[in-house]
Structure 1
């Protein structure tokens, strides 16, 4: 049976604006470091200097460089007492500022002699050289990564304040591939997947799993068409507030938006290409608002060849990066192999006929 489209299409920017209207970031939560990995940083603690004092960067003799000017094997410096031996990581003894190798000091009987010069800071890691006093683990709005956790551990920080929106996915019908694809993208963006619920195609069964009480964003995947077995939209209209059904987006025309109480709801078509397009243009911006994530930086490169597009519907183009250009892979209809190969994606606005070859375009990385 040929699928019929909704009778009218809502412009993509209007559908997104309605979803974002009055939407506020979720409250920060404090998580142990291991759980904070991948979340979006909120206000970060001010770090103390690390190391907190000068430490030896090598094994050797701790001495004061000014005492060693002109010293050599031909003009050794006798010491009134043996110098202090330090291991790498030890605090530098008071009044010392360099570490000399083991063979730079000779001991014969009760007498020790220095056989080489030193310079201030030689073999020493200065206080604050790894982490300056007042530094931060990560900038608010950025994703916590492994190196951020390294800083936190070195500075003795055990908990971090992050924003981690809770995402619930309802898999309508048989959309398991798309549901997993979207869940994995959402985790990479810092979301907590509280559940991937299975729902049948009939309105009553779908209504049973339309629960937004324990999530900040609800995604329905599948059942968004107007066929006889597509009931996700009617269930949302009955039990929530349907904002739009039919978005001027290719792929993804049968997507829908709504709310259950204050929780935004996005219904993604079941096929992977349509689900991905709806995720990139509607669901991810909503998730970024909820997590207060900084806007993704565009990568501007010239197009290797032209992209043609019809006016009236925004289109997703998948791209690979080749020799300093964006090479178009697919536009509108996105094969699974193209999705797997793509490095980036580009939105062709609905009022555009496309882009000429060689024209610089702003595209976004598809891989986190």
Structure 2
């Protein structure tokens, strides 16, 4: 039997609410720092001060600035003994608070003289100047960044507590490029991604591939439409529950949401633009709720030109950041070029006819 859309489309807000109902965050896990990038920080440890004591920032002579007042090339200051030499990163000797360059001290046998003054802190990295004591290793509820990992590694942290989702993506034959795009986006966002492929496009083959044994979210890619060879939503109904199919969303109209037992399922269309729009509008909020992520950053800028939209359908707009304004690239229908160029996306609610040029709008960044 051919898969069909219902006579009326489900509002996006209704479908999303059904998808998120009863969804609780996954338990935190400890991952080696090398695997934690992009994952959502959970209960991050408090770091010790780094460096733990004053260290040399450059190679040179360790001295006390108070002992060098008046020293110059014209009036060298003799020293009772040769100063200590330090390499960058060495702990500062007791009583020393500055590091002078090699040429600032002359040695002649046991005699030493200084040819320049110094100031306290010159050539020195103070204790805690890189990382203050009790600094958290990342902000709880936000993705672990490369900078967070650098700080954690310097502080000697080997593992971090994070929430990392196990995402299973079932590729329905014929949508391979789109499935690979979604998998790449998910991995870049720190998810643990497993990809499967249905044996064929028929309902039984797709249903057999719907494996939720080791995942927190299941996505299908392709076969969600009403073509003669589309059967992904029928396969979901066969194995579990379809909560909504046919959304008042453009692109993304043929997406579906459902459940396989306790596991949330989103059926993404095979077309790249429709799949990406459904990912942004449906899958990201689901991932955020499962990972206890805090609200995503939005950037408010005026529109460089108007966005026109039809009432009754939520339309997704792609934007580029140009001259301190949002320039609309595509609304409702997206080209691959617009997808590649987009810096942000904006959801135009179904109740709106769009936005006039110059209107400030809050857009979500494509890459945080």
Structure-2-length-normalised TM-score: 0.94
CA distance, structure 1, for counterparts of residue 299 and residue 147 of structure 2? 24
Does the C-alpha gap of structure 1 residues 331 and 103 become closer, same or farther in structure 2, counting only changes over 3 Å? closer
Give matches, 1:11-30, under 5 Å: 11-30=11-30
Offset, 1:106: 2.9
Which string of whole-angstrom CA distances, capped at 9 and with x for unpartnered residues, describes residues 56-106 of structure 1? 122222122222223344544433322212222111111111122233333
Unaligned runs of 5+ in 2: none
- The whole-number CA distance in structure 2 between the counterparts of 1:317 and 1:172 is 27
The 5 Å alignment of 1:15-164 reads 15-164=15-164
Moved more, 314-323 or 71-80: 71-80
The answer to whether the Cα contact below 8 Å between 1:224 and 1:254 also exists between their aligned partners in 2 is yes
Decide which moves more: 152-161 or 294-303: 294-303
Cα deviation per residue 1:184-209 (whole Å; 9 max; x = unaligned)? 12122221112233342222111111
Contact 1:6 1:226 in 2 (8 A): no
Give the count of matched residue pairs: 367
CA distance in 2, matches of 1:315, 1:174: 26
338-347 or 98-107, which deviates more: 98-107
CA contact (8 A) 2:198 2:208 kept: no
The separation in 2 between residues aligned to 1:117 and 1:310, in whole angstroms, is 73
Mapped to 2, the partners of 1:347 and 1:49 lie a distance apart of: 44
CA distance in 1, matches of 2:305, 2:51: 53
Q: Work out whether residues 55 and 125 of structure 1, in 8 Å CA contact, stay in contact via their aligned partners in 2.
A: yes
Corresponding position of 2:175? 175
Cα distance in structure 1, aligned partners of 2:287 and 2:242: 19
Partner in structure 1 of residue 324 of structure 2: 324
Alpha-carbon distance in 2 for matches of 1:40, 1:115: 54
Following the alignment from structure 2 to structure 1, what is the Cα–Cα distance between the partners of residues 65 and 259? 70
Look up the match of 2:307: 307
Take 2:109 and 2:267, find their aligned partners in 1: how far apart are those partners?
85
Please give the TM-score of this superposition, normalised by the length of structure 1: 0.94
Mapped pair 1:273 → 2:267:
no
The unaligned stretches of length 5 or more in structure 1 are none
Q: Give CA-to-partner distance per residue, 1:327-361, whole Å, 9 cap, x none.
A: 22221122222222222211110111111122111
The CA distance in 2 between the partners of 1:305 and 1:75, in whole Å, is 69
Contact 2:3 2:230 in 1 (8 A): no
SS in structure 1 at match of 2:61:
strand
**Residue correspondence of structure 1 range 244-263 to structure 2 within 5 A:** 244-263=244-263
Q: Which is worse superposed, 64-73 or 12-21?
A: 64-73
